[in-house]
Amino acid sequence: MTTNSFDSLHARDAAYVWHPFTAMSAYIEEHAPVIVAGDGFHLIDADGNRYLDGHSSLWCNIHGHRVPQIDAAIRDQLDKVAHSTLLGLANEPSIELAEALVQRAPRGLTKVFYTDCGAAGVEAALKIAWQYHRQKPGGPEQRDQFVCLGSAYHGDTVGTISLGGIDRFHSLFGGLMFPALRVPTPAAPGLSLDDCLSQTEAILTANADHIAGLVIEPLVQAAAGILVHPAGYLRRIRELTTRHGILLIADEIAVGFGRLGTLFACEQEAVSPDILILSKGLTGGYLPLAATLVTDEIYNAFLGDPWQGRTFYHGHTYTGNPLACAAALASLRLIEQNDVLGNARRIADVLEHALKPRDSNPWASSVRDHAIVRHKGTMVGIELSQDTASRTPFPAERRIGHRVTLACRARGVILRNIGDVIVLMPAPAMPVELVRHLGDVVFDAIDDAMPRPA
């Protein structure tokens, strides 16, 4: 019989598993931990080492691991039924979850369409927007374009990479993608909010009749390296899209469920999008599930006699999976019972303080010379470059960002880099002492990885 020692697991991992977003040749050499258990905010590997989960298991964990209430909700549901389709049938947890989401979502979002991951939720939103314009009351319009922001990231399916603006991930697939209209990100260096908005307005006005929707990550563009939008930007985008009959499609896959201190990011600018996409933290980080919420106006455009062809012919086998919906309901209850949003705001304060380079800290000079810190709520991006003024990147072959995450791992913290940006994303329920520890470890690790004067 095969034993599950680290050596055996590592060898079989190398033999059989192709890891996503992972340079496999280097990965196999690194003997990365094989996670066998979770305990609160820690992960435990096959050798029994404990690691603080500093990026919420890729930005989805909310309450920690092995949370008794979520475990129990899944087990209870397992005693009833693990899966049954939503195609022409209903199941209990998906109804309860849809109701709970609508009660908490920004005003006007009244119907929930389920999918299984973030990218699938965005794909559903794109097709809904496209079909809506062809069936809407007041006459069809053949709007066939989508607008996205510079450096956008909305997933890895062909539709979502078409909206993507991150060269490393997207440029290779040029011929495969549909063309999208791009407006500048308001986080572009040197671009003022006014200039950004006037360029955006010009593009929207010139193309208004053709644009079905504008897709945006509200307040923070996560995969772009935690790019933080200036206050007021989202509100102005809502005004511009409303003026031109363009659907505002808010991708809250990364920023939702407390990451920014409110349940949904749009709340912070009192914005109601026409379509809202949720995933990642929706189930507390337990099971794959996404929800695409729409307004009555959109939903009603799909009603009519079956033979009229207005139906949304779209869906996946595991859509509305009862186990995932039960986990999501338990997670929502915990967010409220444990004041997770209040804790997320405390985390934001701790990070704000921890991330300021201080002269008294031994690590301060390496951080000052090489790191630009971007931060909002529980989301942090530390961009490392040879020189912060010119933002000259380190040579790619040095893999500085990756080396920092290895140095973190050696100190018992799991983080992930995007190129040379180190992303910290503690779970919104993480106790603040652990967040302080996370900040200390990451700066020590940066100090370790930085070039030393000769």
Q: Using the rule CB under 6 A, is 370 a contact of ligand PLP?
A: no
CB of 409 to ligand PLP, least distance (A): 21
Q: Name which position in 62, 73, 97, 119 contacts ligand PLP (CB under 6 A).
A: 119
Q: Is 95 exposed, middle or buried (0-12, 13-18, 19+ CB in 10 A)?
A: middle
Taking residues 223 to 242 in sequence order and writing x for each that binds ligand PLP by CB under 6 A, - otherwise, the string is x-------------------
Q: Using the rule CB under 6 A, is 253 a contact of ligand PLP?
A: yes
Q: Using the rule CB under 6 A, is 154 a contact of ligand PLP?
A: yes
Q: Using the rule CB under 6 A, is 117 a contact of ligand PLP?
A: yes
CB of 254 to ligand PLP, least distance (A): 4
Q: Closest CB to ligand PLP among 153 and 363? A: 153
Q: Closest CB to ligand PLP among 36 and 58? A: 58
Q: What is the 3-state secondary structure (H, E, C) of the chain?
A: CCCCCHHHHHHHHHHHCCCCCCCHHHHHHHCCCCEEEEEECEEEECCCCEEEECCHHHHCCCCCECCHHHHHHHHHHHCCCCCCCCCCCCCHHHHHHHHHHHHHCCCCEEEEEEECCHHHHHHHHHHHHHHHHHHCCCCCCCCCEEEEECCCCCCCCHHHHHCCCCHHHHHHHHHHCCCCEEECCCCCCCCCHHHHHHHHHHHHHHHHHHEEEEEECCCEECCCCCEECCCCHHHHHHHHHHHCCCEEEEECCCCCCCCCCCCCHHHHHCCCCCEEEECHHHHCCCCCCEEEEEEHHHHHCCCCCHHHCCCCCCCCCCCCCHHHHHHHHHHHHHHHHCCHHHHHHHHHHHHHHHCCCCCCCCCHHHHHHHEEEEEECCEEEEEECCECCCCECCCHHHCHHHHHHHHHHHCCEECEEECCEEEECCCCCCCHHHHHHHHHHHHHHHHHHCCCCC
- Total residues in contact with ligand PLP, by rule CB under 6 A: 14
Query: Binding segment for ligand PLP among 112-120, 170-178, 180-188, 198-206 (CB under 6 A)?
Result: 112-120
Q: Name which position in 33, 54, 93, 155 contacts ligand PLP (CB under 6 A).
A: 155
Q: Closest CB to ligand PLP among 252 and 447? A: 252
Q: Closest CB to ligand PLP among 248 and 441? A: 248
CB of 117 to ligand PLP, least distance (A): 4
CB of 376 to ligand PLP, least distance (A): 14
Q: Using the rule CB under 6 A, is 254 a contact of ligand PLP?
A: yes
Q: Using the rule CB under 6 A, is 287 a contact of ligand PLP?
A: no
Q: Closest CB to ligand PLP among 77 and 151? A: 151
Considering only CA atoms, which of 111, 85, 110, 88 is closest in space to residue 320?
A: 85
CB of 104 to ligand PLP, least distance (A): 19
Query: Binding segment for ligand PLP among 135-143, 250-258, 306-314, 371-379 (CB under 6 A)?
Result: 250-258
Q: Using the rule CB under 6 A, is 279 a contact of ligand PLP?
A: yes
Query: Binding segment for ligand PLP among 2-10, 216-224, 304-312, 360-368 (CB under 6 A)?
Result: 216-224
Q: Name which position in 53, 251, 383, 447 contacts ligand PLP (CB under 6 A).
A: 251
Q: Using the rule CB under 6 A, is 153 a contact of ligand PLP?
A: yes
CB of 221 to ligand PLP, least distance (A): 8
Residue 422's beta-bridge partner residues?
382, 417
Dihedrals φ, ψ of 303, to 5°?
-90, 165
Dihedrals φ, ψ of 379, to 5°?
-105, 130
CB of 414 to ligand PLP, least distance (A): 16
> Closest-CB residue for ligand PLP?
118
CB of 15 to ligand PLP, least distance (A): 25
Binding-site ranges for ligand PLP (CB under 6 A) = 117-119, 122, 153-155, 217, 222-223, 251, 253-254, 279
